Structure 1
Amino acid sequence: MANKGTLPQETLTDILSRLPVKSLTRFQSVSKPFSALINSPAFISAHLRRSSRHSSFFFRHFNNPSGSNFSFFLNNNQIGDVEVPLLGCLIRFPKIVGSCNGLVCLDISSCYARGFVLWNIARKQYSCLPSPRISDSRRPFWMVSTGFGFDRKKNDYKVVRIVSFGCEKDESPVVMAEVFSWRTFCWRVIEASIGACAIHEGQNGVVVNGGLHWLGNSAGKSGIQKFIVSFDLDTEEFRKIPIPDFPAGICVKIMGFKGSLALAFYPAKEVDVHSRHGRPGVADWIEFCVWDECDGADGKCWTKLNSIQLTTVGYPVGVANETGLIIKKLMEGQGAQFILFDPSNQYYRGMHICDASYSCDVHSYVESLVPVSGGGHDQVIEEEPSECCDIALLNCESCLKLNHKRSNGNLPTCTTKKLALPFLLFVLCVLNWHLLKDSTSPPFLSSWPCATTLGLKTRRYCIKPSLVHSAVLGHFWDSSLVP
């Protein structure tokens, strides 16, 4: 029974679960019981269930060739810019792999999806994932596809990386796959039982009904066959889903619509397709199909839901809350305009989104307290990295070590262990110095073993030799030791 003057635990939980993440983050400092409650798995799930009723979506767009902005478009038509983690240290703009339950997965590598970050925008936390395991220097990388989704049965968030290696003219493509588990915080190589096929590079897996989906193709007897590659996040098995035939010059985009897998067909801009205005290269229609139960030979088929006619060039960029198709229209002399179209009732309306003339993609989003690192791993970063970090050193592990949370003033355990060997070498040098007191200068200044000689890779330790020297001289130099 609750003490006099205090609320019952159930009532307190119900009240707090209605608050935004920003307020809950502040309340964590009120008391340890508050902090324990807010960070408990039960409360995080309860808060997520409420937040999911008010889900929104956000855009990644480029305003100009040299700048990138992440912007929100909320259900109440409010727009807000988001500060992207590590943006100042990257050699290219981050790519959004996916968004699920408030966690956003970013690809921060320069190529081939070699570095990932899990980011909770509402909590202003991110975590750099360990490096993927698949790497074959004997075969050049050909194409890499990625996806991010939630395994409901195991309560686990997973990043999927599918690698297609280059092959000789008479060889079949070699495809390998690996999965990162949010709970175990590590990668596992799995069997990619999809045969000799190629998954279109640059696309992200679309999450529908507990599975990730990509568009793929393979060479058959009758020519190039196109299909959907589906990956079950629970069983971690691949399968192929046939898609309707469509003529050359037609683009296809996979989407999720009201819990079903959907396809949007539209003409490519570079194809000589004449619109009602007679201008070549204008896509003035979009056809929408959904994967549904029917009496087909395989028990399933595609059903045409609806189509939309456009007065100018346009193409789908995403789905808003699985209820509406977001279409980007290119207006001559006016930049880009966005409309929200519901294929089920043909209702559409304009969206007041800032200009995104260069590039744009849309992802669903919901505020949540889901931590960026599961399984009790202390890999959370709450501060932006130093602006002086070396881009050449930047990878998924170095970001973690250079920019780890320093609220208690201590280095993370993993970094402390990796610094132990250089400082042990320093101690040995000092001992050697005492044995050579007839020397006019400290021996380690001229014979300090470099990283290459010792087999210590600078990328691995995330520290430049010059920084090691500065740290050693600044913290350990004692003039009284000079002979």
Structure 2
Amino acid sequence: MRIAERKAPRRLELVSCPTARTRLLTDLPEETIIEILLRLPARTLASLRSVCTSWRNLISAPDFTSNHLRRSCLLDPSLTTPRIAYYNGAYSYDVRCGRIGLLSVRSILDDPSEPTQVDCFTEQHYYGIIGSCNGLLCLADADTFKYMHAILWNPCTGFTFEPPEISGEVRFCGFGYDYLSDSYKIFATIWKQGRSDFEFSARIYTFGPTSSWRKIDDIPLALCGFPSDHPRWVLNRKGEFFGSSRLCTLNWCVNHVVLYFDLDKETYGHFPLPDSEIDLDHNFPRRCTHLCVLRNCLSVCSYEHKRTRQWIVWQMKEYGDAQSWTKLAVISNLPKFTYSNYSEHCLQPLYISESDVLLAFFPFRGIILCNLKNGSVEFPEIDGFNTRNHPLYLCYGYRIACIHHESLVSPNGLQSNSSKMLLRFIKPKSKPIDS
């Protein structure tokens, strides 16, 4: 007992001594520190950058961010838990304002009856969501028809980058990652008044230190927005990014087909939609179908309005093979999300859990949960989201909600090029978000 009593104070002294802790941390090899940090979530690592200069440099290094992204995709998805990014624009006292919110998918699925808290950013512009890829949100100023002003933003790290503006009205656009060249790209078809007539062109921007908008020849007529009475009323213009180890494409529903643009080869192609239940009268496929990616498969949600009046979700098991379209879910039509003759009013699937619960978004109604096993539907409680007092106003032609995975990524190690952006997006004090 005397020996134990003599040793106990020493052991407590050693544990409580800050000098000893610092020495042990310093003695760790750099490879071990890196391996430990790679096992932490992206949000935690973003906070740890403030520990010291060496950690900031290490965590911000392109090799580290790439390795962390690769690990989170292949080995441990919990390192970058999925979130929903949504946009809501409104006028307040004759002043336009917008709001971008981030909320946890896990919180919604685990306890739909408990209000899910929103990480909210406000700004004084209308930035529609073009897409999200590898933790980067691509936004565009949706309040103008004269030019395209895009912004790349990583909410987790605060990284922002603004490509140069391009004149003209956006008809179709998309954002994605080219795996083969390790680069992020924005694609857009532009309509503007020429000297004698309207001019259409396709442009692409590759994020890099010396990038600029490049013109692409041979734009398909379908991506000019025809048929349409006026370019401003073109719908479904945001492209759905689909990426794998062998291809990376942007996809649109146009005239009864999926038209795609290959980001690596910069070529176009198309394949048919599933046609057994999709009504092909007039412009319905263009208006009431919504492309998405579910369980790493390109998917489409359509409304069968003539017979069963149901929402049908299809999956393409092999990308590009029209014979591989497989019916994933049939959702009975309910009064709370009835069909409207606009694509922005379509049921928009976002995510499917391992327990076969489909999380979807419906404009002006918010988030819904559809249990694919028993057909039940729930409307989860979300702070300031699913209430009549906080409707989601449409941002025509752009996304309102999408799935966003947190990461530490910045394209090719780019540094933020806009100090103004830090002032535009203001994050108010809020309650912690469940990861």
> Does the pair score TM above 0.5?
yes
**Counterparts of 1:67-466 in structure 2 under 5 Å?**
68-74=98-104, 75-77=106-108, 78-84=116-122, 87-88=123-124, 90=125, 93-108=126-141, 110-112=143-145, 114-132=148-166, 135=167, 144-164=171-191, 175-197=200-222, 198-199=224-225, 200-201=234-235, 203-209=237-243, 210-217=248-255, 226-245=256-275, 246-248=279-281, 249=284, 251-266=288-303, 285-293=310-318, 300=323, 302-314=325-337, 315-320=346-351, 325-328=358-361, 336=365, 338-341=367-370, 349-353=378-382, 354-355=385-386, 357-359=391-393, 361-371=400-410, 374=412, 376=414, 379=417, 381=419, 384-385=422-423
Q: Are 1:39 and 2:60 counterparts?
A: yes
**Distance of 1:79 and 1:383 partners within structure 2:** 24
Q: Are 1:16 and 2:45 counterparts?
A: no
**Distance of 1:153 and 1:345 partners within structure 2:** 42
The number of residue pairs the alignment matches comes to 344
Q: Secondary structure at the match of 1:98?
A: strand
Name the amino acid aligned to 2:67. Answer: A
Q: Would the aligned equivalents of 2:103 and 2:119 in 1 still touch at CA under 8 Å? A: no
* 61-70 or 360-369, which deviates more: 61-70
- Tell me the CA shift for residue 228 of structure 1: 1.8
**Distance of 1:21 and 1:349 partners within structure 2:** 30
**Distance of 1:351 and 1:27 partners within structure 2:** 33
Q: Would the aligned equivalents of 2:62 and 2:412 in 1 still touch at CA under 8 Å? A: no
> Is the alpha carbon distance of 1:380 and 1:20 closer, same or farther for their aligned partners in structure 2, counting shifts above 3 Å?
farther
Q: Are 1:60 and 2:86 counterparts?
A: yes
**Distance of 2:371 and 2:210 partners within structure 1:** 39
Q: Secondary structure at the match of 1:384?
A: helix
**Distance of 1:158 and 1:124 partners within structure 2:** 20
**Distance of 1:322 and 1:235 partners within structure 2:** 33
Q: Which runs of 5+ in 2 are unaligned?
A: 1-22, 109-115, 226-233, 338-345, 395-399, 426-435
> Is the alpha carbon distance of 1:257 and 1:13 closer, same or farther for their aligned partners in structure 2, counting shifts above 3 Å?
same
Q: Would the aligned equivalents of 2:183 and 2:207 in 1 still touch at CA under 8 Å? A: yes
> Is the alpha carbon distance of 1:241 and 1:17 closer, same or farther for their aligned partners in structure 2, counting shifts above 3 Å?
same
**Distance of 2:219 and 2:373 partners within structure 1:** 33
Q: Would the aligned equivalents of 1:175 and 1:192 in 2 still touch at CA under 8 Å? A: no
Q: Would the aligned equivalents of 2:259 and 2:268 in 1 still touch at CA under 8 Å? A: yes
Q: Which runs of 5+ in 1 are unaligned?
A: 136-140, 218-225, 276-283, 388-483
State the Cα RMSD in Å. Answer: 3.8
Q: Would the aligned equivalents of 1:58 and 1:73 in 2 still touch at CA under 8 Å? A: yes
**Distance of 2:142 and 2:280 partners within structure 1:** 35
Name the amino acid aligned to 2:412. Answer: G
> Is the alpha carbon distance of 1:185 and 1:57 closer, same or farther for their aligned partners in structure 2, counting shifts above 3 Å?
farther
Higher relative contact order, structure no. (Cα contacts within 8 Å, ≥ 6 residues apart): 2
**Distance of 1:48 and 1:340 partners within structure 2:** 28
> Is the alpha carbon distance of 1:305 and 1:385 closer, same or farther for their aligned partners in structure 2, counting shifts above 3 Å?
closer
Q: Would the aligned equivalents of 1:337 and 1:351 in 2 still touch at CA under 8 Å? A: no
TM-score, normalised relative to structure 2:
0.67
- What is the percent sequence identity of the aligned residues? 23
The structure with the largest alpha-carbon Rg is: 1
**Distance of 2:50 and 2:170 partners within structure 1:** 47
> Is the alpha carbon distance of 1:300 and 1:165 closer, same or farther for their aligned partners in structure 2, counting shifts above 3 Å?
farther
**Distance of 1:20 and 1:142 partners within structure 2:** 39
**Distance of 2:270 and 2:219 partners within structure 1:** 7
Q: Would the aligned equivalents of 1:213 and 1:230 in 2 still touch at CA under 8 Å? A: yes
